[in-house]
Structure 1
Amino acid sequence: MRRPTAASNAADRTRAQSNIVGVALLLGIGVVAIGLLTASVGTLVDAQVATADADAAVEGLTELRDGVFAGSNETYSLRVTDGDLSRVDRTVRVISDAGVNRTFGADGYVADLGGQRVAFVGGAVVRGQGESATLATPVPLSLAGDVAFLTLPTVTADSADGVGLGTGAALRTRTNRSVLDLPSDGYTVAIETETPGAWERAFERRGFDPSRVDYDGDDVESVAVAVPGGDQTLTLARYNVTVVVAGG
C-alpha cells in the first residue's frame, strides 16, 4: 500500500477547502436570491394594495360627487387601508367675451395612497399623477342647445382639512346649492388643476378644444375651453359642500 505523500495531503486539503468555499458560496447565493424574491413579492403586494386603495377611493369620491350633484346629505366611505386625505385650494374661472371675469373657489380633496393619487376637485374625480392621470367621471361642463351648464362643487371653509386614512374614512356631507344664470354671450371656462393632461383629454372627447393657461402665476395651470357656438346663456350650479371626516 502506497503511503500518502506530503503533496497528496496538500491536494486533499485544497479540495476540502474548495468544497467548503463552494458550499458557502451556494448558501450565500441562495440567501441573496431568497432576499430578492421576498423584496420583489413585498413590492408587488404593496403595489396591489395601493391599486386596490385607489379603486376604493375612486368609488367613494365618485359616490360623493354624484350625491352632491343630487343634493343629498349622506355619508360616503373611503374603504382604504392606508394613506392621507388633504384639502386643496383650486379656482374655476368663467370669462365672458365681454370681458367679465368671474372667479370661484373650487376647493376639494386629494387622497394620497402609497404612490397613487385620487382627487375630487373642480367637479370631477381624477385618478393618477402628471400626464398619466385620467378623469374617472365626466367633465362638469355640458351643452344643451344654446344653453351651457357648469356644475361647480366646492368644499367650504368649515370642512375638515383632512385626515390619515389608516383605517379608511367616512365623509359626511351637507350641501347647499345656488344657481346663477349668466346672460347670452361667448364664454370660456377655466379649471385650475395639477393634472391638466387628464382634463384636456376628457374635454377633447366631449368635442371641446382645450388650452392651458396660468392665470395667477402660481405654477398651477388651468385648462381653458371656449363654449362653442358663439352667444350662449350659461347656467352655473354651485354646490357648497361642508364635509366632516371621521375614521372609517
Structure 2
Amino acid sequence: MSRVLTQLNGTARTRAQSNVVGVALLLGIGVVAIGLLTASVGTLVDAQVATADADAAVEGFTDLRDGVFAGANGSHPVRVTDGDLSRVNRTVRILSESGTNRTYDADGYAAELGGHRVAFVGGAVARGTGESATLATPVPLSLAGDAAFLALPVLTTNSTDGGGLGSGATLRTRTNRTVVDLPTDTYTVAIETAVPSAWERAFERRGFTPTRTDYDDDGVESVVVAVPDDRTLTLARYDLTVVVDRG
C-alpha cells in the first residue's frame, strides 16, 4: 500500500511540476506575444507619423512654390513632428541650337522625414526616392502657341542652408522676379534631379519625350526635354531667399 501511495505521490508531484512548467511557458509566450504586439503597434504608429509628416512637407513646399511663382513674399509653415532639412545643389540648363547656352545654379531644399523624402528643386515638388518617387506639382515648363515658358527658382546665398525641423518650421521668403524673353530658336531644357523617373513621367504626361544626361559627371542625372519646333522662350527667374524659422 505504501508503495502505491509513494507512486501516486510521485505522479502528483510530476504533474504539479509539469503544470508549473506549462504555466511558466504560457506566461513566457504571452510576454513575448505582448512585446511583439507592442513593437508592431509602435512601428505602425511611427510609419503613420512619418507619412503624415511627408504630407505636411508636400503641403508646405507646394505652398512655397505657389507663393514664389506668384512673385510674393510670404511665410509657409511646414507642420511636421520631426525631420531634417538640407540644401541641395542642382543645375538647370537651357541649351539652344544657335549655341547660346545658359546654366543656372538652381539649388533647392530636401526634407528627410522618418524614411520619407520631400524636395523642392527645379521648380517642382517631388515626393519619394528612386523609381517610386512622384512629382506633387506640375513641371515648370509649358507651351502655348509659338512660345515656351520656364519658371526657374534660384536660391540666393542668403538662404538658410538647412538643419533640424524639430516640431515644425516656417519658411519665410523674399522673391525677386526677372523675366527674359529669349528669341525664336530650338531650345532644350535640362533639369538636374535625384529622382529622374518622377520628372520623366511628369514630362511625358505633358507630351514631352525626356531623356537623361549627366553633364558634369557628378552622378546626378539631368532630365532633358527638347522644346518642339522653333519657339520663343520666356524665362521667369525667381531669385529666392528662404529663411527657416524653427519651432
Shorter-chain TM band: over 0.9
SS state at 1:143 partner: strand
Secondary structure of residue in 1 paired with 2:216: coil
Q: Is 1:234 equivalent to 2:224 in the alignment?
A: no
Alpha-carbon offset, residue 184 of structure 1: 1.0
Instruction: Tell me, yes or no, if structure 1 residue 30 matches structure 2 residue 30.
Output: yes
Establish whether residue 244 from structure 1 lines up as the match of residue 224 from structure 2.
no
Which residue of 1 is the match for residue 81 of structure 2? 81
2:177 is aligned to 177
Tell me how far apart the structure 1 counterparts of residues 105 and 177 of structure 2 sit (CA, whole Å).
14
Looking at structure 2, the residues matched to 13 and 226 of structure 1 have their Cα atoms a distance apart, in angstroms, of: 87
Q: Could you tell me how far apart the structure 2 residues matched to 1:224 and 1:6 are? A: 91
Q: What amino acid maps onto 1:101 in structure 2?
A: N
1:151-175 per-position Cα deviation (integer Å, ceiling 9, x unaligned): 0001111100012111100111000
Distance 1:126 1:105 in 2: 18
Q: Which residue of 2 aligns with 1:115?
A: 115
**Rounded Cα–Cα distance in structure 1 between residues aligned with 2:239 and 2:88:** 15
Give the counterpart letter for 2:84 in structure 1: D
Give secondary structure in 1 for the equivalent of 2:77.
strand
Alignment correspondent of 2:65: 65
Q: How many residues align?
A: 247
Distance in 2 (alpha carbons) for counterparts of 1:217 and 1:162: 25
> Residue type matched to 1:236 in 2?
L
Counterpart of 2:225?
A: 225
What is the CA-CA distance between 1:2 and the residue it aligns to? 7.0
Matched AA of 2:234: T
One-letter code aligned to 1:222: S
Residue identity over aligned pairs, in percent, reads: 76
Instruction: Show the counterpart of 1:52.
Output: 52
Equivalence for 1:189: 189
Return the offset for 1:244.
Answer: 0.8
Q: Secondary structure of 1:68's match? A: helix
- Matches of 1:221 and 1:25 in 2, distance apart? 57
Aligned to 1:82, the other structure's residue is in SS state coil
Task: Give the whole-Å Cα distance in 2 for the aligned partners of 1:223 and 1:85.
Answer: 24
Q: What whole-Å deviation, never above 9, does each CA across 1:105-146 have from its counterpart, x for those lacking one?
A: 110111111111110000000011111011000000000111
Question: How far apart are 1:93 and its partner, in Å?
Answer: 0.6
Q: Counterpart of 1:245 in 2: which secondary structure?
A: strand
TM-score, normalising length: structure 1:
0.96
Gaps of 5+ in 2: none
Secondary structure, in 3 states, of the residue corresponding to 2:225? strand
